[in-house]
């Protein structure tokens, strides 16, 4: 197997387990350059198929010079893209029957017991059909590494510990749809007792990594079709964090508290925002190999989440 693909599979598994080893932007750049198009990460325990598949979102950066995926459309709904962990919730005959992690979008891990033991979501809804509701588990952004905290909560073995976690669920989808328009469905979910992504001021409380644009009318949304990875009637508008260029002077190996050995880049000092950066994480040897980084190269560096310095990519000579 392609070594970059091997590394991206590892990165994907870690991301859905709540312990990402690279940023979304670095992942996307490596995936695009190497032709990697696998969706999500397969789980290993209590695997079940989603009643409806959970697609990914196409990403759009305004600085790419490409047209907006929905250019010319006027009936478009917008909502925050919450940065957490996606789940699907299945109701049968009005009763909460199953909750799955997103997994690879086709199948996920059954975590129903955690939600039956809490009041994060309604246990009953006033609808006797088979209904799948999808959404995001998130934690307040005041919690350090809130995305990892939220995703890691779903992997906890102890229900007692899960109950102590400061997390919430926000719905962003219902299948089959109940009304003609997306915003009408979100209003209906609100009446059923759910938080939704159309709730106000979510960006002030929870971590967000973009704005979702989607065709509000379902007939237009479904007519737009989809690829194997994402629907074409919606996209996530993302803002790329600025990178600065500097020189890679050396690579040293650092032993963490857990005993894990991690390569660290020694950089020609460069100022990012209000900090002078001279070191950055290289994650592991596979990451170095995937980016083809060598001592003496000019590299692009940024502070992930405006905190942790990381190398994004090599600047070609």
* Active site amino acids: 81
Q: If we measure between CA atoms, which residue out of 114, 117, 119, 121 comes closest to residue 156?
A: 114
Q: How far is it, in rounded angstroms, from Cα 149 to Cα 180?
A: 36
Tell me the C-alpha distance between 52 and 226, whole Å: 14
Tally Cβ neighbours within 10 Å of residue 158: 9
Strands of the sheet containing 208-215, edge to edge, are 59-61, 234-238, 208-215, 76-82
CA atoms of 34 and 32, how far apart (whole Å) = 6
Helix, strand, or coil here: 268? strand
């Amino acid at each position: 197997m392609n070594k970059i693909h091997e590394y991206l599979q590892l990165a994907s598994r870690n991301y859905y387990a709540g312990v990402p080893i690279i940023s979304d932007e670095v992942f996307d750049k490596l995936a695009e350059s190497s032709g990697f198009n696998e969706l999500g990460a397969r789980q290993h325990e209590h695997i079940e198929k989603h009643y409806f598949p959970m697609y990914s979102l196409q990403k759009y950066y305004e600085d790419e010079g490409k047209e907006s995926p929905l250019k010319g459309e006027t009936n478009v709904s917008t909502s925050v893209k919450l940065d957490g962990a996606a789940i699907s919730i299945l109701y049968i005959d009005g009763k909460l029957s199953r909750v799955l992690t997103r997994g690879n979008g086709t199948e996920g891990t059954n975590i129903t017991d955690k939600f039956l033991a809490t009041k994060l979501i309604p246990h009953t809804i006033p609808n006797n059909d088979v209904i799948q509701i999808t959404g995001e588990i998130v934690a307040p952004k005041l919690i350090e590494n809130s995305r990892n905290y939220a995703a890691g909560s779903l992997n906890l073995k102890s229900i007692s510990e899960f109950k102590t976690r400061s997390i919430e669920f926000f719905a962003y989808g219902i299948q089959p749809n109940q009304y003609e328009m997306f915003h009408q469905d979100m209003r209906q979910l609100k009446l059923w007792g759910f938080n939704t992504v159309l709730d106000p001021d979510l960006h002030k409380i929870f971590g967000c990594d973009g704005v979702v644009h989607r065709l509000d009318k379902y007939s237009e949304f479904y007519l737009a079709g989809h690829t194997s990875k994402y629907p074409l009637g919606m996209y996530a508008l993302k803002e790329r964090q600025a990178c600065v260029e500097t020189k890679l002077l050396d690579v040293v190996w650092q032993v963490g508290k857990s005993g894990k050995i991690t390569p660290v880049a020694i950089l020609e000092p460069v100022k990012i925002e209000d900090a002078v950066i001279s070191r950055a994480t290289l994650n592991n040897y596979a990451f170095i190999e995937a980016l083809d980084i060598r001592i003496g190269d000019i590299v692009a560096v940024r502070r992930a989440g405006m905190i942790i310095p990381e190398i994004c990519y090599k600047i070609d000579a």
